[in-house]
Amino acid sequence: MTDSSLIPTDSLKNQRQNLRSQRRLKAWQGVWRFLFLCGMTGGLIWSVNLPHWLIEEKSQINILGNERLHEDQIHAMLDLSYPELVWKLPIHQLQQKLESQPPVETVYLTRQLLPVEVTVMVKERQPVAEGTMGIKTGFIDEDGVWIPGTFYEGAKDKPSVNLKVLGLTPQSLSYWQDIYPLIINSPVKITALDWRDPSNLVLHTALGKVHCGTYVNQERFVEQLQALGKLRTLSSQVDKKRIIYLDLSKPDDPSVHLKEIPQKSD
């Protein structure tokens, strides 16, 4: 009776001891795992803050793709403070900052660790016309974005354009995307638009000055250019020096204003 009753009691004790040992082992494993993770995290934080992860000078910012803008101009637009941890650079914000500048169309920024540097890939806007807005001079791209001429002062490659626009306003710029494709495809070459009088858009063409009156819309402007195309042979019929201007304010009834021929005295 005594021996047989002790067997299950010893077995239970052993099981309890094994369970306690397993719990203690798991507890120590949890502690060591926690300490290991803390060490790894601390080491990672320490390593990313080491000096060799710093952007310390402009030479670590590679500017690519710029055609007219100087690298110094783009550095000024970035407005970075040195030194700066490469991890902390606000890439998205820097991209938006550059793309808000009139001469810049799109920007891509990438970070590199070995060696530590940032690459800025710039795509500039392409001016298609030179213009005046009030007392300011500048350029326009095909989307109607006004680019102040100051951006190209001392540029390594100044914009070369064959079209001029005088008297630009924010309103006339809003028409540009509609007008520009028509101008470059005009049946008669157009070299300038004079918008200084809002009530009369004047075109400088191969036939001379053309008065269009108030710009109404793209459809009306198409009609005026079509009427201009029908007058292409005018220079073979009338001495160009006699033409004061062509009036296309009524495209269905164009008129030509000529200088009078001085009468010869007897």
- CATH number of the 127-258 domain: 3.40.50.11690
Among 137, 132, 232, CA closest to 192: 132
In whole angstroms, give the CA distance from residue 139 to residue 103: 9
- Cα 226 from chain centroid (whole Å): 34
Given this model, what pLDDT does residue 112 score? 85
HEC assignment per residue over 119-150: EEEEEECCEEEEEEECCEEEEEECCCCEEEHH
Task: Report residue 106 as tokens.
Answer: 């799109």
The structure's pTM equals 0.76
CA 228, 232, 238, 244 dihedral sign is positive
Given this model, what pLDDT does residue 155 score? 76
pLDDT category of residue 1 using cuts at 50, 70 and 90: very low
Given this model, what pLDDT does residue 33 score? 67
- Any residues with CB less than 8 A from the CB of 60 and at least 6 apart, and which? 115, 116, 117, 118
Domain residue extents for the chain = 53-124, 127-258
Task: Report residue 26 as tokens.
Answer: 């798991």
DSSP 78-130: HT--SSEEGGG--HHHHHHHHHTSTTEEEEEEEEETTTTEEEEEEEE--EEEE
111-138: pLDDT as tens digits? 888 888 899 999 999 999 999 999 999 9
Say if CB 244 and CB 260 are below 8 A apart.
no
Amino acid occupying residue 126: Q
pLDDT at 265 over 90: no
User: b/e for 89-107, b at 16 or more Cβ within 10 A?
Assistant: beeeebbeebeebebbbeb
The CATH superfamily assigned to 53-124 is membrane protein fhac (3.10.20.310)
